[in-house]
């Protein structure tokens, strides 16, 4: 007995995939995983979010060093350098996030 298998469209395969993983990772927008561009956007977005958290942690550490220097010039300068570099890093991260969002909207415009 031969059973004819209906061909699935990309949308059907994506829907089946999302139904299969419906319970896992509810905090993730699973539609990212339906295409290579969506997966790339998800990975880049995750890296940007992680680097933003690291930059904010460096702001806290730099502020701590600066505030607890108690007149120690070396400690004060160390705190200032960390703060300046963390702010520069945060600005770069925000600009990178904006560029990724713009490119993602252009790439996924046709989908």
Residue-wise pLDDT tens digits, 31-43: 666 777 777 888 8
70, pLDDT greater than 60: yes
Alpha helices in 1-111 (DSSP H): 10-20, 36-67, 73-107
Average pLDDT over residues 18-23: 60
Of 10 and 99, more confident: 99
d(CA 85, CA 33): 35
Over residues 72-97, the mean pLDDT reads 94
Pairwise pLDDT comparison (36 vs 61), residue with the higher score: 61
Domain boundaries, the chain: 35-110
Instruction: Tell me how far apart the alpha carbons of residues 30 and 20 are, in angstroms, rounded to a whole number.
Output: 11
């Amino acid at each position: 007995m031969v059973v004819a298998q209906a061909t699935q469209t990309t949308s059907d395969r994506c829907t089946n995939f999302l139904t299969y993983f419906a319970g896992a990772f509810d905090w993730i927008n699973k539609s990212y995983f339906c295409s290579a561009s969506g997966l790339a956007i998800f990975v880049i977005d995750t890296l940007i979010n992680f680097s933003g958290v690291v930059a904010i942690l460096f702001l806290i550490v730099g502020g701590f060093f600066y505030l607890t220097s108690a007149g120690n010039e070396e400690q004060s300068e160390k705190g200032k350098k960390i703060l300046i570099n963390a702010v520069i890093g945060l600005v770069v991260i925000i600009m990178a996030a904006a560029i990724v969002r713009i490119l993602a909207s252009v790439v996924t415009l046709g989908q």
